[in-house]
Amino acid sequence: NERLCDRLLQQGLAISEYPAGTQPNKTNFPRRNRIIAGLSRATIVIEAPHKSGALITAYQANDFCRDVYVLTARLDDDRSFGCLELLSKGAHPILPSSDRLLSEERLLEMLGAMPKLDKAEQLSLFSVAAVPEKKAPLLEPELEQVLRAIESGPIAFDLIVETAGLPPGKVSALLLQLELLGLVSQLPGMRYQRC
């Protein structure tokens, strides 16, 4: 990795939230991947077990309104469960063409040919111009948990905390994120409803 970093520094730059000399630690990877997801135009998940760093990165890419692509995989492979989860939530599948496997050039063509999205389209990560109905954005599990608690209509903050089973401070932060995504709105009396 040092050689790669040296090459990057010669032709570009290296970005880190950590001071120089910080030792690698697996707990730092999600923060590093958040930067990568934010700087990238799209995230492509090749393989992801049910709990994996690739899923974390895909959710982070969604938070930054980036496209998420998934290489279709075998249904009976444990390393595909995360990919299947992403596909079920609306990620774009990468399918082999009828007569040949997807080439690197074709993949770059796909990514380069994506139209620039206006602000309204950016709110829904998986919107496709050809499909009139927009799919729900891919959300982190805790955000989904809070959103599910609000499904029945306007609901008090305390009931959301109880239903979601999360600490009040965490629920408050998650509700703010959902408001910023345009998925919920706050009503008088600390009540919330879905938009």
Boundary residue ending a domain (76, 95, 114): 114
Total tally of structural domains belonging to the chain: 2
Residues 84 and 155 in one domain: no
Which range of residues forms the domain containing residue 56? 2-114
The verdict on pTM exceeding 0.85 is: no
Tokens of 167: 């600490």
Task: Please tell me whether residues 84 and 173 are part of one structural domain.
Answer: no
Q: To which H or E segment does residue 186 belong?
A: strand 184-187
Residue 130 resides in a domain: no
Q: Please give the C-alpha separations between residue 29 and each of 4, 9, 24, 34, in angstroms, as whole numbers.
A: 17, 20, 9, 8
Farthest CA pair distance, the chain: 60
Average pLDDT, the chain: 76
What proportion of the chain, given as a percentage, has pLDDT over 90? 6
User: Do 99 and 186 fall into the same domain?
Assistant: no
Domain-located, residue 129: no
Find the range with the poorest average confidence among 69-83, 88-102, 138-152.
Answer: 88-102
Token reading at 57 = 């990165």
Distance separating alpha carbons of residues 63 and 94, to the nearest angstrom: 21
